[in-house]
């Protein structure tokens, strides 16, 4: 009986463990030693105190503990092992095991001594010191025997440096004796798998002047690894520190290998047995074992749960026959109408005669069990009982599903026959399985070849050979091969074929996971005829659209030429000294021509948007700069009506978007100008902000607002708000063009309006806003266009190629006003002659001229071999066709201007390019001299 008061007085740890290995009592010293407070360890298995790192020592300790658990035992001395504290740290212990009693009440008492205790270590060191002193007295005798020892012997000085080795050491290590001189033994024998802790223990023993013994995985001179046992013994001349050390080296490789094999075999057997028992008990199927006399040995919990009516009968020693009788006579087994006695006798005879067997029985509660038995060579019978009720139910469901599939097959056949489309099935080898009547009707007279087993290729070849498939002029064999390749091109294939009688058939085939091909055949003759009519109508519509666009472009070109003259000379007149009446009339002429030009541009833009020929030119630009230019352009218009024009940009100052800046400005001008036109008093405000999708522009006014019907039609072509002559002027195209431009940029435009309050037009564009680290300088339009009054008198020689007299006069007036010498040529050929004859600083070339066009003349200039090849060229055109600017710049022009000309732009460009041309010309003459 465990006396806790006496146990707690013991300085060593005391544990009491029952036969199952569970801790039933513990004293205070053991609690402190293992770090488990209170009764935490009570009920825990003793394995919780054993480490798992050192497998060999762990197995030995477990074996000793488990052996003690089985019966009376008493160790005759202390055994050294490693234990594990609650925090996982391992520490050395000495353990003494003793048994207490036998049978179910057997207990094992373990006395445990913590060997990491300094006092215990000092006692051991003292004892070792006495032993070593005794050995020193016999050292001389041992030295005589050392040379003849089979073990390697080394004599080292007090610091561990080798002084002498015997010949056996050379045989063990492969080194010569002189290789060890002046070196430490273990320095020579270390290798990749040598435990560094072992080396440290040997070094510490020499440093502390004590003996040591350890097993070390060492390496020979050839690099081969092997286990050796090293015993280090200090030799004392007096009672001070050792004067020398004697170390013996013994080859223990064979012993280590035997120990490892034995330990691994013992561990494997122990694990296997434990796992087998655990696996049988944890199995979800019933498991039962009978001995050679058909008596029950054991069964698992799952079997007891399967046979609850036999729970009191399932005890070791009961016979198979007794269990069968109990189950049948108890009314638990269904004998399927057979006499119970006969059924039982048949089952028992079958059991006694068969080595292996399998039977399925039904219980009266509806469950089905499969019993599979196998007899071992020793005569035992091992049985596995599985509940197959679900399997039996599945079999019944499968039988019912098969019957339902047969009914569905009949319904499917009827459905396939009733559909109007042709239906056909080919197997995985492309052989015909079935085809409905509609499919045969599509083939008409060729239905005789539609028989089960015929391949798709054979059908195609037969129809081509009979001349019923139209190969559209292609070689018949090549056409057939193309059809076969198309059929293999994917899991879903659609092809269209034409019969020679004019009919069209659509083949739609889908391959199943099993490799079969399911096909639908449709007569699409009517569809193809309708498609041809649509294509014809589409082509006619495109032709009409091109004709309209060309007409609008031609009219635009013809209108731009006189407008160019009107606007140009109006600007020149306004630069002269005029009376107030004359200036008023000139202003009227100028504004009327600008309005006419705006109308022409609107018609041209609308035509391009409608035809899809309008192209956007994208480039990065600063949003705030574009807004500033637009506001300054429209400020006079707002001031004239007494309106306040405001702009707010809720973006960083250098924020950029990548888009067509000209078209963005056009959108803003249209919205702001429209707001100014319809606002009598108050203000017009533009706000720019960033959204999650891009950028937003909002133009708000304090105008009259829009009624519901006006709001619905505000973006329609030629829609104008207001009634009568008092409504603002305009053709009603601005907002329609704006909406077209916004949609061309994948954006959206909306309007919010309230009568008597005003309107807000919002434009959302999916354009990411970016802020560059350093903004490149880009001059604004106002910087590019210097005021007309600032005229440089620099004399440039300019060649102008222009065939229209009014335009000739206008350009001459503009150029001479800034001091240029002008030479005129009325076609491209004369322009080339002038360039051959004279030197010029600049060439202004019109596009459409008789004899030779401007494009051809530009091409020839750029093909010259002298310095005039690089003379700056300004291209002029009244053409409104898309791509005109790209064509000219591709030929090498420096600037491109459309008529009517902006006088300030012409002057600024001529000054810039004239200076470049003059420098080029002077450089060429300087080189020639």
pLDDT in tens, 744-762: 889 999 999 999 899 999 9
- What tokens were used for 828? 């491209």
Locus of tokens 């002189």: 178
pLDDT for residue 642: 92
The overall average pLDDT reported for the chain is: 81
pLDDT for residue 741: 86
Q: Which residue has the higher pLDDT, 188 or 622?
A: 622
Q: What is the largest CA-CA distance in the chain?
A: 146
**CB 753 within 8 Å of CB 699:** no
Residue 347 has pLDDT above 60, yes or no: yes
Q: Give every strand in the sheet of 504-511, ordered side by side.
A: 432-435, 422-426, 517-523, 504-511, 492-498
**CB 49 within 8 Å of CB 83:** yes
Strands 619-622 and 656-659: antiparallel
Provide mean pLDDT across the span 388-413.
84
CA pair distance 727, 720, nearest whole angstrom: 8
Residue 287 has pLDDT above 60, yes or no: yes
Q: pLDDT band for position 720 (50/70/90)?
A: low
pLDDT for residue 588: 75
CA pair distance 185, 168, nearest whole angstrom: 14
Residue 790 has pLDDT above 50, yes or no: no
Name the percent of the chain lying above pLDDT 90: 17
pTM of the entire predicted model: 0.36
Provide mean pLDDT across the span 624-630.
91
Backbone angles phi, psi at 234, to 5 degrees: -80, 145
Provide mean pLDDT across the span 339-353.
83
CA pair distance 296, 299, nearest whole angstrom: 8
Q: pLDDT band for position 594 (50/70/90)?
A: low
- What tokens were used for 633? 């352009």
Q: pLDDT band for position 781 (50/70/90)?
A: very low
Q: Which residue has the higher pLDDT, 242 or 835?
A: 835
The most confident of 75-84, 553-562, 920-929, by mean pLDDT: 920-929
Q: All domains of the chain, ordered by start, with CATH? A: 4-114 (3.30.450.20), 138-253 (3.30.450.20), 283-394 (3.30.450.20), 419-613 (3.30.450.20), 615-720+732-772 (3.30.565.10), 797-927 (3.40.50.2300)
Residue 54 has pLDDT above 50, yes or no: no
Residue 258 has pLDDT above 70, yes or no: yes
Provide mean pLDDT across the span 694-708.
91
Lowest mean pLDDT among 108-122, 154-168, 198-212, 572-586: 108-122
Summarised one tens digit per residue, pLDDT across range 99-112 is: 765 556 678 888 88
Shortest CA distance to 569 belongs to which of 593, 548, 599, 546? 593
Lowest mean pLDDT among 431-440, 645-654, 915-924: 431-440
Strands 683-690 and 23-26: unpaired
Summarised one tens digit per residue, pLDDT across range 177-197 is: 888 887 876 777 888 888 888
Residue 592 has pLDDT above 80, yes or no: no
**CB 838 within 8 Å of CB 868:** no
Q: pLDDT band for position 75 (50/70/90)?
A: low
Name the percent of the chain lying above pLDDT 70: 81
pLDDT for residue 144: 54
Helix (H, G, I), strand (E, B) or coil at 814: helix
| CB neighbour class for 34 (10 Å; exposed up to 12, middle 13-18, buried from 19) | buried
pLDDT for residue 419: 79
Residue 71 has pLDDT above 60, yes or no: no
Lowest mean pLDDT among 4-13, 641-650, 764-773: 4-13
pLDDT for residue 858: 94
pLDDT for residue 821: 92
Q: Which residue has the higher pLDDT, 229 or 793?
A: 229
The alpha-carbon radius of gyration of the chain (Å, integer) is: 55
**CB 423 within 8 Å of CB 506:** no
Residue 436 has pLDDT above 70, yes or no: yes
**CB 203 within 8 Å of CB 178:** no
Q: pLDDT band for position 782 (50/70/90)?
A: very low
Provide mean pLDDT across the span 29-51.
87
pLDDT for residue 127: 58
- What tokens were used for 515? 């490799």
Q: Which residue has the higher pLDDT, 837 or 187?
A: 837
pLDDT for residue 407: 83
The most confident of 102-116, 362-376, 710-724, 731-745, by mean pLDDT: 362-376
pLDDT for residue 879: 65
pLDDT for residue 796: 92
Q: Which residues pair with 234 in a beta bridge?
A: 245
Residue 341 has pLDDT above 70, yes or no: yes
Shortest CA distance to 296 belongs to which of 322, 332, 325, 331? 322
Provide mean pLDDT across the span 398-427.
83
Q: Which residue has the higher pLDDT, 64 or 360?
A: 360
Q: Where are the alpha helices (DSSP H) in 452-520?
A: 456-465, 476-487
**CB 906 within 8 Å of CB 875:** no
pLDDT for residue 911: 92
- What tokens were used for 15? 């544990």
Task: State how far the alpha carbon of 778 is from the alpha carbons of 43, 356, 775, 782, 786, in Å.
Answer: 87, 97, 9, 11, 16
Task: State how far the alpha carbon of 221 is from the alpha carbons of 225, 252, 914, in Å.
Answer: 10, 18, 92
CA pair distance 801, 213, nearest whole angstrom: 113
pLDDT for residue 199: 85
Kindly give the interhelix angle for 320-329 and 340-353, rounded to the nearest 10 degrees: 160
Strands 758-765 and 797-801: unpaired
Q: Which residue has the higher pLDDT, 412 or 422?
A: 422
Residue 820 has pLDDT above 90, yes or no: yes
Summarised one tens digit per residue, pLDDT across range 486-525 is: 888 888 888 888 888 888 888 888 998 888 888 888 888 8
pLDDT for residue 597: 66
């Amino acid at each position: 009986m465990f006396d806790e008061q006496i146990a707690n007085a013991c300085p060593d740890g005391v544990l009491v463990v029952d036969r199952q290995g569970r801790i039933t009592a513990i004293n205070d010293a053991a609690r402190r030693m293992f770090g488990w407070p209170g009764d935490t360890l009570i009920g825990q298995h003793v394995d919780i105190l054993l480490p798992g790192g050192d497998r060999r020592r762990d197995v030995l300790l477990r074996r000793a503990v488990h052996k003690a658990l089985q019966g009376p035992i008493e160790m005759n001395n202390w055994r050294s092992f490693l234990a594990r504290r609650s925090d996982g740290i391992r520490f050395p212990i000495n353990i003494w095991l003793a048994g207490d009693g036998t049978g179910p009440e057997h207990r094992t008492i373990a006395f445990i001594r913590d060997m990491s205790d300094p006092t215990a270590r000092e006692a051991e060191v003292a004892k070792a010191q006495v032993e070593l002193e005794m050995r020193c007295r016999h050292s001389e005798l041992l030295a005589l025997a050392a040379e003849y020892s089979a073990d390697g012997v080394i004599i080292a000085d007090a610091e561990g440096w080798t002084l002498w080795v015997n010949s056996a050491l050379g045989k063990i290590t492969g080194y010569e004796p002189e290789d060890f001189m002046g070196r430490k033994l273990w320095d020579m024998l270390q290798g990749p798998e040598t435990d560094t802790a072992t080396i440290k223990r040997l070094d510490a023993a020499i440093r502390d002047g004590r003996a040591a013994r350890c097993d070390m995985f060492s390496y020979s001179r050839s690099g081969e690894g092997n286990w050796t046992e090293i015993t280090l013994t200090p030799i004392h001349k007096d009672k001070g520190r050792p004067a020398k050390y004697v170390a013996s080296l013994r080859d223990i490789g064979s012993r280590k290998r035997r120990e490892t094999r034995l330990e691994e075999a013992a561990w494997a057997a122990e694990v296997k047995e434990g796992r087998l028992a655990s696996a049988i008990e944890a199995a979800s199927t019933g498991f039962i074992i009978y001995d050679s006399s058909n008596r029950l040995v054991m069964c698992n919990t799952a079997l007891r749960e399967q046979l609850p009516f036999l729970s009191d009968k399932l005890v070791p020693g009961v016979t198979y026959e007794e269990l069968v009788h109990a189950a049948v006579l108890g009314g638990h087994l269904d004998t399927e109408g057979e006499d119970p006695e006969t059924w039982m006798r048949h089952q028992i005879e079958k059991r006694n005669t068969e080595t292996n067997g399998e039977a399925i029985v039904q219980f009266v509660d509806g469950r089905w069990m499969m019993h599979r038995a196998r007899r071992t060579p020793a005569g035992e019978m091992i049985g596995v009982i599985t509940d197959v009720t679900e399997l039996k139910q599945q079999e019944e469901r499968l039988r019912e599903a098969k019957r339902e599939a047969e009914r569905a097959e009949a319904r499917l056949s009827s459905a396939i026959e009733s559909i109007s489309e042709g239906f056909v099935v080919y197997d995985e080898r492309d052989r015909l399985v079935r085809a409905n009547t509609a499919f045969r009707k599509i083939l008409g007279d060729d239905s005789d070849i539609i028989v089960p087993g015929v391949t798709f290729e054979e059908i195609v070849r037969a129809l081509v050979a009979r001349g019923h498939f139209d190969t559209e002029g292609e070689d018949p064999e090549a056409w057939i091969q193309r059809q076969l390749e198309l059929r293999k091109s994917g899991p879903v294939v659609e092809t269209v074929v034409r019969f020679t009688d004019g009919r069209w058939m659509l083949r739609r085939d889908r391959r199943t996971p099993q490799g079969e091909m399911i096909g639908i055949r449709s007569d699409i003759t009517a569809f193809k005829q309708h498609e041809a009519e649509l294509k014809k109508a589409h082509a006619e519509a495109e032709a009409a659209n091109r004709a309209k666009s060309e007409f609008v472009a031609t009219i635009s070109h013809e209108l731009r030429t006189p407008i160019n003259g009107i606007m140009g000379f109006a600007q020149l007149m306004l630069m002269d000294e005029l009376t107030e009446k004359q200036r008023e009339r000139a202003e009227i002429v100028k504004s009327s021509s600008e309005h006419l030009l705006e109308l022409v541009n609107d018609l041209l833009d609308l035509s391009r948007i409608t035809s899809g020929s309008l192209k956007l030119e994208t480039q990065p630009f600063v949003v705030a700069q574009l807004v500033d230019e637009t506001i300054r352009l429209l400020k006079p218009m707002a001031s004239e009506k007494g309106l306040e024009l405001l702009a707010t940009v809720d973006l960083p100052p250098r924020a950029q978007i990548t888009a067509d800046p000209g078209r963005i400005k056009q959108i803003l001008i249209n919205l702001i100008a429209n707001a100014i036109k319809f606002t009598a008093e108050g203000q017009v405000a533009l706000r720019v902000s960033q959204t999650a999708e891009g950028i937003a522009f909002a133009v708000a006014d304090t105008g009259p607002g829009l009624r519901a019907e006006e709001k619905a039609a505000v973006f329609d072509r030629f829609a104008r708000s207001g009634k009568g002559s008092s409504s603002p002027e305009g053709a009603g195209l601005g907002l329609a063009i704006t909406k077209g431009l916004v949609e061309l940029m994948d954006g959206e435009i909306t309007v919010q309006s309230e009568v008597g309050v005003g309107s807000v037009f919002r434009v959302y564009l999916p354009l990411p806003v970016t802020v560059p680290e350093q903004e490149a300088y880009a001059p604004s339009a106002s910087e590019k266009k210097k005021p007309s009054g600032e005229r440089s008198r620099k004399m440039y020689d300019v060649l102008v190629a222009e065939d229209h007299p009014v335009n000739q006069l206008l350009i001459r007036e503009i150029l001479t006003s800034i001091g240029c010498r002008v030479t005129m040529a009325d076609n491209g050929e004369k322009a080339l002659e002038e360039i051959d004859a004279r030197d010029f600083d600049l060439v202004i070339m019109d596009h459409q001229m008789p004899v030779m066009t401007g494009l051809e003349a530009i091409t020839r200039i750029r093909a010259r071999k002298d310095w005039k090849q690089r003379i700056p060229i300004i291209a002029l055109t009244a053409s409104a066709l898309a791509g005109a600017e790209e064509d000219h710049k591709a030929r090498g022009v420096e600037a491109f201007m459309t008529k009517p000309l902006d006088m300030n732009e012409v002057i600024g460009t001529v000054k810039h390019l004239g200076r470049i041309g003059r420098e080029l010309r002077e450089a060429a003459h300087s080189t020639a001299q």
